[in-house]
Amino acid sequence: MELLKESLVVIHLAGMAVLVGAFIVNMKRKSDFPFTAMMWAAIVQLSTGTLLVGLSYALDDAPDNFKITVKTLLATGALVAAIIGRKRQAHGESKLQPFFHAAGGFAVINLIIAVLWNAELWS
């Protein structure tokens, strides 16, 4: 069970690297945004994150539900922004930067929350 959890953490961190990396590397772009990669990475984050929460309960190590709720809302926001941006880009529409920045911004905020929203750090 512990090995399964750590393997999921590896996939969760790889998904985070793709999502945040796609944003940082392409931050100066005005077109051709990597929405497809960001969409799949957000799906990976939501699914591995949900499985990690389930496993935490199975291992009697309940997570902070408020933190998980905030992370889920932000990851869902990133996914929705990536899906809308991807659809609009496929239809040749312009002004897609706000969707790219929303998806990437939500991911970066989630990364900061994941690491810094830690009770032990502030007590």
Q: Which of 1, 31, 65, 115 binds ligand HEM (CB under 6 A)?
A: 115
Find the Cα–Cα–Cα–Cα dihedral 86, 101, 96, 28, rounded to 10°: -110
The site that binds ligand HEM (CB under 6 A) totals a number of residues, namely 23
Q: Which of 38, 44, 78, 83 binds ligand HEM (CB under 6 A)?
A: 78
Q: How many CB atoms lie within 10 A of CB 23?
A: 22
- CB of 55 vs ligand HEM, minimal distance in Å: 8
Q: Is 9 in the site for ligand HEM (CB under 6 A)?
A: yes
For 28-73, give the DSSP string. Answer: T-SS---HHHHHHHHHHHHHHHHHHHHHHHHTT----HHHHHHHHH
Give me the residues that bind ligand HEM (CB under 6 A), please.
Answer: 9, 12-13, 16, 19, 45-46, 49-50, 52-53, 56, 63, 68, 71-72, 75, 78, 107, 110-111, 114-115
